[in-house]
Amino acid sequence: MTTEPPQRPRVLVARRLFDDVLEPLRQACQVQFNDDDRIADPAQLRAWMSDKDGALITGSERIDAALLEACPRLRVVSTMTVGFDHVDVAACARRGIVVTHAPDVLTQTTADFGIALLLAAARQIGDAERYLRAGEWRSWSADLFAGSDVHGSTLGIVGMGRIGREVARRAALGFGAAILYHNRSRLPEELERPIGARYCGLDELLEQSDHVLLALPFSAQARHLIGREQLARMRRGATLVNIGRGGLVDEAALAQALHGGHLGAAGLDVFEGEPRVDPVLLGAPRLVLTPHIASASLPTRRAMVRLAMDNLLAVLAGRPALTPVAAGAA
């Protein structure tokens, strides 16, 4: 009697990632790669995923109930991102599909970038560079691109998860900043004490901070957490930085606060509706814009892909995921 060799699981890799990192996946599974690296529209994604056991995705693929309906074999969705607002976790749980994400591996790199974007915004590095390249620099003057200081300032951090805490640590220990934070819950004292972080309400944080940095995930409740009213509460000349998710900030209100001069500067790495960027932002002064690159150092992006692959392989082999998204997570 001959027995058929067991079928290797079928897997989709939804974007072009790092071939050498993904070699073990290629060995263990039948892999369909998106060699064009274009973001698939919902119909294309459905066609690709309908016969798959697993999918390795990025933040650009939306996994919703309608898509899952068309994927009867799917057992695991592994996103290479730490954020998972693009995956309907509840719908996956109802179908017994494991969702995994990629925390920890990007924390330090993303926190580095949070500080970089804060400095770039507060010191107007973006506008200054464009001015120089445009040949507009005729003479030195005392107030040319004179921004605000980060050292010795008060930094308010909204969202004190792993990344927020690492930004706080850098700002407190490296720049002597006083740290205020607002979070779903207060941190244990042993985490607050070494960086002198003080927990407070959002309004107080906005009123007392020289710079405000958002490092929280997106949820429907957090949409436009920073709108016209919150921007008005911020100190005149303050800086706003968003490395969390697009949608946390009302972009039209932000542009207005910059044009009107109430806000000193801003830095955005994430946008509502990205990769489209609202033209209202492109015309705003003292605003640094970057294309969602906070975690984009090469070693970190490779580590994110590796973790996503290891999660996928673990679940497909019947082992527990390394970093699952908790079933009740929104």
Residues with catalytic function: 245, 274, 292
Q: How many Å separate Cα 293 from the centre of its chain?
A: 8
Decide whether 34 or 81 has the Cβ nearer to ligand DGY: 81
Are the beta carbons of 180 and 212 closer than 8 angstroms?
Answer: no
CB of 51 to ligand DGY, least distance (A): 28
CA dist 195 → 118, 178, 179, 191, 224 (Å):
18, 8, 7, 8, 29
Decide whether 114 or 264 has the Cβ nearer to ligand DGY: 114
CB of 82 to ligand DGY, least distance (A): 4
Residue 12 neighbours by CB under 8 Å, 6+ apart: 31, 32, 34, 48, 49, 52, 54, 55, 56
Can you name the residues that pair with 238 across neighbouring β-strands? 263
CB of 10 to ligand DGY, least distance (A): 25
Decide whether 209 or 290 has the Cβ nearer to ligand DGY: 290
Decide whether 120 or 195 has the Cβ nearer to ligand DGY: 120
Question: Phi and psi dihedrals of 12, rounded to 5?
Answer: -105, 135
Decide whether 290 or 295 has the Cβ nearer to ligand DGY: 295
On the 0-12 / 13-18 / 19+ scale of CB atoms within 10 A, 258 is: buried
CB of 234 to ligand DGY, least distance (A): 24
CB of 142 to ligand DGY, least distance (A): 39
Decide whether 315 or 325 has the Cβ nearer to ligand DGY: 325
Decide whether 9 or 59 has the Cβ nearer to ligand DGY: 59
CB of 298 to ligand DGY, least distance (A): 13
CB of 121 to ligand DGY, least distance (A): 18
Q: Contact residues for ligand DGY (CB under 6 A)? A: 59, 81-83, 106, 295
